[in-house]
Chain A
Amino acid sequence: MNEVRPEVTTAGPGQDGPAKDDTPVVSLRQVRKVYASAGGAKVALQDITFEVARGEFACVVGPSGAGKTTLLRTLAGLAQPTSGAALFEGAPLRSVPPGIGVVFQDYGRSLYPWLTVARNVDLPLRVRGVPRAERAHRVADVLASVGLADAGRSYPWQLSGGMQQRVAIARSLAYRPDLLLMDEPFASVDAQTRFELEDLILRVRQEFGVTVVFVTHDIDEAVYLADRVIAISRSPGVVTEVVDVTLARPRDQITTKADPAFARYREHLLGLVMNR
Chain B
Amino acid sequence: MSSPSLSSPAGSALAVRVANSAAARALTRVWLFVVLFAVWWFWSAGSKSLYFPPLSSILKALWTQWVTGPARAELSSSLEHLLVGYVIAGLAGIGLGALLWSARYLRDATSPYLYFLYVLPAPVLVPAAMTLFGIGFTMKVVLIAFAALWPTLLNTLDGMRGVDQVKLDTARVLGVSPAGRVFRVVMPAAAPQIVAGLRNSLQVAIILMVVSEWEASSDGIGYYIVNAQQSFDYVGMWSGIIVLALIGTVANLLFVAAENRVLHWHYGARAVEGNR
A residues within 8 Å of B by Cβ?
73, 76, 78, 95-96, 98, 100-102, 104, 106, 109-110, 112-114, 123-124, 127-128, 155, 157-158, 171-172, 175
Contacts and interface: CB of A to CB of B under 8 A. Distances in A.
Contact of A109 (B166, B172, B184, B188): B166
B33 interface: no
B170 interface: yes
A104 B268 contact: no
B50 interface: no
Contacts of A113: 265-266, 269
Given A157-B265, A157-B269, 11 more contacts: A76-B173, A78-B172, A96-B173, A102-B169, A112-B167, A112-B189, A124-B175, A127-B175, A157-B273, A172-B173, A172-B174
B249 interface: no
9 closest A-B pairs by CB: A109-B166, A157-B269, A124-B174, A114-B188, A102-B173, A110-B170, A114-B265, A113-B269, A96-B172
A175 B184 CA distance: 18
Given A113-B266, A155-B265, A175 B175 contact: yes
Interface in B167-181: 167, 169-170, 172-177, 180
Nearest to A168: B170
Interface residues of B, number: 23
B185 interface: yes
Contacts of A158: 268, 272
Contact of B173 (A101, A109, A114): A101
A110 to B, nearest CB: 5
Contact of B272 (A101, A124, A157): A157
A193 to B, nearest CB: 16
Contact of A78 (B167, B173, B268): B173
A96 B169 CA distance: 10
Contacts of B176: 123-124, 127
B191 interface: yes
A106 B185 CA distance: 17
A91 to B, nearest CB: 16
Contacts of A100: 173
Contacts of B174: 123-124, 127, 171-172, 175
Nearest to B191: A114
Nearest to A157: B269
Nearest to B270: A157
Contacts of A157: 265, 268-269, 272-273
B269 A155 contact: yes
